[in-house]
Each structure stands twice: as C-alpha cells, then as structure tokens.
C-alpha cells in the first residue's frame, strides 16, 4: 500500500523538467521521499538534480531506500537500476563542480552542505543477471571512474573550491579491476571526493596487490575484509594479516585456505601459524570470522583463544574439524554469543555427533542461523539431534542441503520444528527416496550430482506443503534452492 503523500510525490515527478524547477519551492522534508520515488521509477533527471541540490549533510541509501511509512518496497533488497545509479553519480559530479554557495536549493551555509554520500548496503551479486541493473562490480567501477575523472579534471580557481564529499561504498576487486581501483583510491586521497570503503571483497588477487590496496584504505572506515579464492596459504597470509590487523574497527574477517594442519607440520608452517595467531590477537572489535576450506584439525582452540572478544558469527565450512575442536568451541566464551554458525562440509555423523550436540546446546539461546550443508547427517543422526536442535528457539534459518535424509526424516524435522516460532527458512536436501540405486552411505558428491526422480520429488513437495498448512506454518519456506540468496549476512541478523 502507498500513502497519499507517496502517490502525490509520484505524480509530481511525472514531468521531470517541471519537477526540477519546483525543487527550490518544496520543503526539505520531502526530499527523502522524492529521492526514493525518483530512484524507484528511474526518474533520472530529477534524481540527478536531487543529489546536486541535496540539502542535508547525509544522503544514505540504507536510510532512503528501505521500507518506509509511505511505501513498503525495500529497494535495498533488489539489484539497483543502472540508470538510477548513474544518475546519482552524475548528480554527485555536478555537485563537486558547483561552488558551495550554489550547491543547494538556496545559498547554504557550510554546515548544511552534503558531506557524506553513503552508497553501502546495495544487494550483492546474485546468480541471476539483469542487464538493466548494476552489480557490485559495476558499482565499484563506476565510483572509481568518478574519482579518477574528478582528480584529473580539477582546476585551481580561487573562491570556487568544491565542497568535499565522503563517498562510502562497498568495493569489489579482482585481477582485472585491481589497477583501476588502486588509481581511484590514490586519486581520492587528494580529491574533494573522498572514497571510503566499508566492506572490501578481493577475489583471486595476488598477495602484493592485496597488500597495496589495504595500505590505501582508511583505517577508520573498514568494517569487513573478505579474501576469496586467493589460496594464500599460511605463508601468504602471514604477509597480509598485519596489514589487516591495523584496522582496529574491523568487525568481519573472511579468509580461506589457511593451511595449519597438525598432521603435516613443518618448521616454516608452524612459525607462520604462530605469527598469524599473534596478529589475530590484535583485533578488538572482531565479531565475525570465516575460515572456509582451511585445515584446522586440532587447531581451533589455538585460533579462537587468541581473540580478544567473543564471536557472534563463525564459519568453519570444510575445515576437517575433529571432535576435540567441537568440544573446545562448546566450552569457549564464543558459543554462548553465536548468532550464526556454519559447519558445512564437516562430517558430523560419527564421533563428532556428540560434541556437535553439545555445541548446539551451548549456543541454543542466541543461535539464529545454522548451516549444515554436506555434513553426512542421515535420519539417525538428525533424530538424535532434534531434541537439542529444537531448543534453539530463536533459529530463523536451517541449512541441511546435501545430507542423506529420507522423507520420513524430513517429516519428523518439520513436526518438531513447529515449536520454533522464529523459523522462516529450511533449505533441505532432495530426500534419498527420490534417487535410484544410491550407494549407502551416499557420498555428498553423489547427492549433489545424481539425477532425481522428478515425479517422486513432486509428491514430496506436495506432502511437505500439506504438513506445513496443517501445522499453521505455511509462512515457513521449505526449499531445495541453495542459490536463492536465502542465507543471511551476519550484519543483517
């Protein structure tokens, strides 16, 4: 539903030229809604002029594009329109080339000029690509081009200095875009357009390039560092980690392929691991740690004991965890603070089951998001775990994809989960009943690659739907879609 104010605003923007002329006559209080409607409807001429004449110190996408009293549509949950994003950037460029006394709808004193354009919080890359929308990679490139062009086009005109604007963004970088983004960050240092990175994601970037980028980032702005597909190993990580540790406000650190397996020790490896642990101890605000595909067998106690504060999100997917790792985590200060836990790819069916259940018991009061993809959990293990799993009363998301569960096991889970009032999403596997000639126990690779009987699965879906309806839980999504952007980011919990 839209309010009368929203509908009136939309009508005002139908003629963009007239709307731009009317902006100086409109009260400042209407500007936030004008921005949302113009962004939503791709009224690019108006949108550019709104940014150009913005009368407040802050223009924040997270504040302006969320659900509001006038419109329930949350634009941050959608990939942004390329046209709208380009209009915002063009408006910013126009503003930077406008003397301060002309920057608003009327002459503005310095304290009322736009100081911060916060473009963070945009939907990250999903699987589906829409040519009319802008991915995070495209957004990074567009902002970088603006920084470079602004620096190159600067002229020294006395009395016409532009009002400096801090642009907060989430940056994505890979080998192809590294040089371009590095130039933008360097240009930003001496420019009225100051680029401030909140979340950095670097994919497949060489060690020296990663270090060079980290050295250019503002230590007061960075919230997350996410290094993906870099396969640094302990040697590379020992070079990078001191540059990361200087970001004292860092709340999220996502690393992969940290090889610290005690079964294959070496002198250099041990020295690098001890150095890595010492650097991890420097973080004072860290709340999320992801160590996917790292060999941490028997090492989890060393890693987590170095941290100064309890974690609220811990991702240990495919880390070859041992029973003693899970037992340590259950007894550690981290367990009672965990909101998100990912143990995907760790075999929890054997001797790990009992310590895993102990960990769930310890985290039950706070856990919101539990990911257990490919953990070899069959019906027997699931049923044994249900009593403690259902004690996680605040759980919103449960991921069980890639586990050898039958339809009977899924039905038992559904019945027991009725007690979990906050549960909204269950990502479940295709039941083993829907496969033909499965080996037992079936390896995860077989469950992921083997074809299923579509007719049988259609009957399974129908039965699950009927059970949800009968239990008054039709609002809970039960799905096999692991690519539907259902897993929550830590900062959104």
- DSSP per residue, 439-490: -SSPPHHHHHHS---HHHHHHHHHHHHHHHHHTT-TTSEEE--TTSS-SPPG
Torsions phi, psi of 384, nearest 5?
A: -70, -25
Neighbouring-strand partners of residue 370: 341, 398
- Burial of residue 157 (number of CB atoms within 10 Å: 0-12, 13-18, 19+): exposed
Q: Pick the residue with more confidence: 268 or 466?
A: 466
In this prediction, residues 86-99 reach a mean pLDDT of: 86
Q: Pick the residue with more confidence: 446 or 1?
A: 446
State the pLDDT at residue 103: 47
The sign of the dihedral angle between the CA atoms of 465, 471, 476, 478 is negative
- Domain membership of residue 162 (yes or no) is no
In this prediction, residues 176-193 reach a mean pLDDT of: 90
In this prediction, residues 113-125 reach a mean pLDDT of: 86
In this prediction, residues 85-89 reach a mean pLDDT of: 94
pLDDT tops 60 at residue 55: yes
State the pLDDT at residue 109: 40
Tell me if the bond preceding 87 is cis, omega within 30° of 0.
Answer: no
State the pLDDT at residue 263: 45
Tokens 């549960």 sit on residue: 423
- pLDDT tens string 388-418: 999 999 999 999 999 999 999 999 999 999 9
Give yes or no: residues 410 and 278 share one domain. Answer: yes
Count CB atoms within 10 A of the CB of residue 102: 13
State the pLDDT at residue 128: 55
Please tell me the distance from the alpha carbon of residue 196 to that of residue 115, in angstroms, as a whole number. 12
Count CB atoms within 10 A of the CB of residue 463: 14
Strands 116-118 and 165-173: parallel
State the pLDDT at residue 267: 65
- Domain membership of residue 315 (yes or no) is yes
Give yes or no: residues 224 and 89 share one domain. Answer: no
State the pLDDT at residue 456: 94
Q: Within 13 Å and on the Cβ side, how many CA atoms surround 69?
A: 3
Please tell me the distance from the alpha carbon of residue 291 to that of residue 235, in angstroms, as a whole number. 16
CATH number at residue 361: 3.80.10.10
- Domain membership of residue 165 (yes or no) is no
State the pLDDT at residue 10: 94
The answer to whether the beta carbons of residues 12 and 19 sit under 8 Å apart is yes
- Domain membership of residue 190 (yes or no) is no
Give yes or no: residues 293 and 436 share one domain. Answer: yes
- Domain membership of residue 353 (yes or no) is yes
Q: Using a pLDDT cut of 90, give the percent of the chain over it.
A: 71
- Domain membership of residue 492 (yes or no) is no
State the pLDDT at residue 126: 54
Please tell me the distance from the alpha carbon of residue 327 to that of residue 263, in angstroms, as a whole number. 19
Q: Pick the residue with more confidence: 313 or 257?
A: 313
- Domain membership of residue 191 (yes or no) is no
Using 50, 70 and 90 to split pLDDT, how confident is the model at 362?
Answer: very high
State the pLDDT at residue 260: 46
Q: Pick the residue with more confidence: 468 or 143?
A: 468
In this prediction, residues 268-276 reach a mean pLDDT of: 87
Q: Using a pLDDT cut of 70, give the percent of the chain over it.
A: 91
Neighbouring-strand partners of residue 197: 169
Angle at 120 between CA 251 and CA 58, to 5 degrees: 110
The total number of structural domains in the chain stands at 2
State the pLDDT at residue 284: 95
The residue range of the domain holding 43 is 4-64+80-95
Torsions phi, psi of 274, nearest 5?
A: -65, -40
Give yes or no: residues 86 and 220 share one domain. Answer: no
State the pLDDT at residue 131: 77
Average pLDDT, the chain: 89
Using 50, 70 and 90 to split pLDDT, how confident is the model at 76?
Answer: confident
- Domain membership of residue 426 (yes or no) is yes
pLDDT tops 80 at residue 221: yes
State the pLDDT at residue 438: 87
State the pLDDT at residue 443: 85
Give yes or no: residues 236 and 88 share one domain. Answer: no
pLDDT tops 70 at residue 104: no
State the pLDDT at residue 486: 67
State the pLDDT at residue 161: 64
Segment among 38-52, 103-117, 282-296 with least mean pLDDT: 103-117
Radius of gyration of the chain (CA): 26
pLDDT tops 70 at residue 83: yes
In this prediction, residues 100-105 reach a mean pLDDT of: 48
Give yes or no: residues 296 and 417 share one domain. Answer: yes
- pLDDT tens string 145-159: 888 887 776 654 555
User: What is the helix (H) or strand (E) element at residue 329, kind and residue range?
Assistant: helix 323-331
- pLDDT tens string 428-451: 999 999 998 888 888 888 888 889
State the pLDDT at residue 110: 37
- pLDDT tens string 341-353: 999 999 999 999 9
The answer to whether the beta carbons of residues 274 and 237 sit under 8 Å apart is no
Q: In sequence order, what DSSP letters do the residues of 57-84 get, joined into one string?
A: SEEEHHHHSS--SSB---GGGSPPBHHH
User: What is the helix (H) or strand (E) element at residue 58, kind and residue range?
Assistant: strand 58-60
Tokens 């304290």 sit on residue: 111
């Amino acid at each position: 539903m839209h309010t009368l104010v929203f509908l009136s605003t939309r009508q005002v923007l139908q003629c963009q030229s007239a709307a731009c002329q009317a902006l100086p006559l409109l009260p400042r209080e209407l500007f936030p809604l004008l921005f949302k409607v113009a962004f939503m409807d791709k009224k690019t001429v108006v949108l550019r002029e709104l940014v150009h004449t913005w009368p407040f110190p802050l223009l924040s996408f997270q504040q302006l594009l969320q659900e509001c009293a006038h419109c329930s549509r949350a634009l941050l949950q959608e990939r942004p329109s390329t046209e709208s994003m380009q209009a915002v950037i063009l408006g910013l460029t126009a503003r930077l080339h406008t003397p301060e006394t002309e920057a608003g709808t009327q002459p503005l004193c310095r304290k009322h000029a736009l100081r911060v354009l916060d473009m963070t919080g945009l939907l990250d890359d999903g699987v589906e690509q829409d040519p009319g929308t802008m991915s995070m990679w495209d957004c990074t490139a567009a902002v970088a081009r603006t920084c470079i062009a602004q620096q190159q086009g600067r002229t020294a005109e006395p009395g016409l200095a532009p009002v400096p604007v801090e642009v907060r963004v989430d940056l994505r970088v890979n080998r192809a875009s590294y040089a371009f983004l590095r130039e933008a960050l360097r240009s930003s240092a001496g420019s009225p357009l100051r680029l401030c990175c909140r979340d950095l994601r670097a994919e497949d970037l060489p060690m020296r390039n990663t270090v060079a980028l980290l050295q250019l980032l503002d230590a007061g702005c960075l919230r997350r560092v996410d290094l993906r597909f870099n396969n640094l190993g302990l040697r590379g990580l020992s070079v990078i980690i001191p540059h990361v540790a200087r970001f004292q406000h860092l709340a999220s650190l996502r690393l992969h392929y940290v090889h610290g397996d005690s079964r294959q020790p070496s002198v250099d490896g041990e020295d690098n691991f001890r150095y890595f642990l010492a650097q991890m101890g420097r973080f004072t605000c860290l709340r999320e740690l992801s160590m996917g595909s790292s060999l941490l067998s028997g090492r989890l106690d060393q890693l987590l004991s170095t941290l100064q504060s309890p974690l609220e999100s811990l991702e240990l997917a495919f880390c070859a965890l041992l029973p003693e790792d899970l037992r340590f985590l259950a007894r550690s200060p981290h367990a009672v603070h965990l909101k998100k836990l990912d143990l995907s790819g760790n075999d929890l069916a054997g001797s790990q089951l009992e310590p895993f259940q102990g960990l769930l018991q310890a985290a039950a009061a706070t856990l919101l998001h539990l990911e257990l993809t490919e953990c070899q959990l069959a019906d027997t293990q699931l049923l044994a775990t249900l009593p403690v799993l259902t004690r996680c009363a605040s759980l919103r998301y449960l991921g069980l994809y890639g586990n050898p569960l039958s339809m009977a096991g899924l039905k038992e889970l559904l019945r027991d989960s009725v007690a979990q009032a906050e549960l909204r999403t269950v990502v479940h596997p295709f039941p083993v009943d829907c496969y033909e000639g499965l080996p037992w126990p079936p390896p995860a690779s077989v469950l992921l690659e083997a074809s299923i009987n579509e007719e049988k699965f259609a009957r399974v879906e129908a039965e699950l739907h009927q059970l949800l309806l009968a239990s008054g839980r039709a609002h809970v999504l039960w799905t096999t879609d692991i690519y539907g952007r259902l897993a929550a980011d830590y900062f959104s919990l």
